[in-house]
Structure 1
Amino acid sequence: MKKNFFLFILIGFFLSSCSVKTNEGLYNLTAKEWYKQIIKDLQDKDLEKADEHYNGMASEHVSNPLLETTLIILAQAHIDEEEYQLAEFYLDEYNKKFGSSRNADYIRYLKIKAKFDAFGVPNRNQALMLESQKEISNFLKDYPDTEFNPLVQTMLTKFNLAVFYLNDTIKDLYYRTGRTQSAEIYEQKLRKSEFYKQSIIKPELPWYRSIFEKF
């Protein structure tokens, strides 16, 4: 009786151990199996699981060609979900593993696009706007003949317009608060802009934002 009792406990412990091991996650999969699992995670809209399974894939298959496609897919998935820092992480990973002169402009373009998509409200993200302007200028100098030139030029124009609008808003704020000298500094900045004295339709904020976000 005692023998059967201890045997029962031993079997129970073994099954419990197996269950814990099974629930720890996937491992020892082929690159193709990892890839299919990540695609399934994305179809299920579970980006957290997709990130977790990418880590498993990358650790078990360090330089497998399927990683190249997987990194781009994950970067785009995070851009679609407005998770731009994670998107940049995957693009940086892609650049480290698969970057070459053949696709360098494409990766730089995707990183700029991620920043552009992250820019939403016209009187926020001043640092993001200025950083993006600089990145785009450097991109156009480094790749003057890139096929992405028209797209990046459009982004640059929109960033320039956003900076102009922000400076104009700050100038008006200084005038309203009696800080004339500061307002004149911003007036000079506006005069140097390509948009100065042009008829521009200012972006409108939804009413529930405008209450809190107007200067």
Structure 2
Amino acid sequence: MNLKKSILAGMALVFLLAGCMNKDDVTEFNKPALYWYKQIGSSISSGNMDKADEYYISLKSEHMRSPLMPTAIMMLAHAHMNDEKYLLANYYLDEYNKRYGEYGSREYTDFMKLKASFLGVKDVYKDQKLIMDSISNANKYLLRYPGSSYAPLVNTILIRLHMSQYLLNENIAALYERTGKPEGAKIYREKNSGSVVGMTDITPPEQGVIGMVFD
């Protein structure tokens, strides 16, 4: 949780500094690390995530060992998640883990990666592999961090994923039945026979299957 607090403090600082920038300075190379850091914050504030990514590349290429790098990476991860760009959010979380991840910080970043993958499920028919991978990763998380403060949310994610998988199999089975293919229906109902949830546990949503966990 200390990592999360430091990230939030860093984000508040960069937004404050971004408002004090000299807008007349247009030379976009060979700049101090703080310049690129401010530019990232300013671009995030204005919703220009493409520009924020470009400024990160400049910060990374010119100041790889800057102490501003970890906070910049996490700022971008959170900003892309808020922008519903979950693949990019995961890219930055992987960057953070690769460069700065230790056991204490990975508990948080691994949870954020799982959350990004979960929120990235938009269509259960098209995202079947993502659902299966997310179930696997959620189980691994609970084994790796058994006492994690994020465990209740991870369990909620896991149940929602199992529900979506169950409904998907049931919908496919029903389709096979309607088209006169009982053997196909049987195969998909057998897949649900070992599920941790049952139809009585599920209220089919009016829109979507995953639903929102983080509201």
TM-score, normalised via structure 2 length:
0.80
User: Contact 1:122–1:203 (CA<8 Å) still a contact in 2?
Assistant: no
Evaluate the alpha carbon distance shift between residue 180 and residue 25 of structure 1 in structure 2; reply closer, same or farther with a 3 A threshold. Answer: farther
% identical aligned pairs: 36
Which AA in structure 1 matches 2:187?
I
Q: Which residue of 2 aligns with 1:165?
A: 167
- Which ranges of 4 or more aligned residues in structure 1 deviate by more than 6 Å? none
- Secondary structure at 2:172 match in 1: helix
Evaluate the alpha carbon distance shift between residue 70 and residue 145 of structure 1 in structure 2; reply closer, same or farther with a 3 A threshold. Answer: same
Evaluate the alpha carbon distance shift between residue 86 and residue 25 of structure 1 in structure 2; reply closer, same or farther with a 3 A threshold. Answer: farther
Report how far residue 40 of structure 1 moved. Answer: 0.6
Q: Select between 110-119 and 189-198 the one with higher mean Cα deviation.
A: 189-198
Report how far residue 92 of structure 1 moved. Answer: 1.1
- Secondary structure at 1:27 match in 2: coil
Report how far residue 158 of structure 1 moved. Answer: 0.4
1:57-112 CA-partner distances (Å, limit 9, x unpaired): 11111121211111011011111112111111111111111111121111111111
Q: What is the aligned residue count?
A: 185
For residue 141 of structure 1, the aligned residue among 140, 143, 153 is 143
Query: CA–CA distance in 1 between the matches of 2:133 and 2:157?
Result: 13
Report how far residue 25 of structure 1 moved. Answer: 5.3
Q: Between Structure 1 and Structure 2, whose CA radius of gyration is higher?
A: 1
Report how far residue 193 of structure 1 moved. Answer: 2.1
Query: CA–CA distance in 1 between the matches of 2:136 and 2:195?
Result: 16
For residue 117 of structure 2, the aligned residue among 106, 115, 118 is 115
2:159 equivalent to 1:153: no
Report how far residue 166 of structure 1 moved. Answer: 0.3
Q: Which residue of 1 aligns with 2:73?
A: 71
User: Contact 1:84–1:115 (CA<8 Å) still a contact in 2?
Assistant: yes
- Secondary structure at 2:103 match in 1: coil
Query: CA–CA distance in 1 between the matches of 2:125 and 2:103?
Result: 37
For residue 187 of structure 1, the aligned residue among 181, 186, 189 is 189
For residue 52 of structure 1, the aligned residue among 39, 54, 58 is 54
Report how far residue 192 of structure 1 moved. Answer: 2.1
Query: CA–CA distance in 2 between the matches of 1:200 and 1:154?
Result: 13
Q: Which residue of 1 aligns with 2:180?
A: 178
Q: RCO higher in 1 or 2 (8 Å CA, sep ≥ 6)? A: 2
For residue 87 of structure 2, the aligned residue among 85, 88, 93 is 85
Q: Which residue of 1 aligns with 2:28?
A: 26
Two-structure CA RMSD over aligned residues (Å)? 2.0
TM-score, normalised via structure 1 length:
0.80
User: Contact 1:168–1:186 (CA<8 Å) still a contact in 2?
Assistant: yes
Query: CA–CA distance in 1 between the matches of 2:102 and 2:142?
Result: 18
Q: Which residue of 2 aligns with 1:38?
A: 40
Which AA in structure 1 matches 2:203?
I
User: Contact 1:122–1:165 (CA<8 Å) still a contact in 2?
Assistant: no
Report how far residue 191 of structure 1 moved. Answer: 2.5
1:8-56 CA-partner distances (Å, limit 9, x unpaired): xxxxxxxxxxxxxx99851222222211111111111111111001000
- Secondary structure at 2:28 match in 1: coil
Gaps of 5+ in 1: 1-21, 207-215
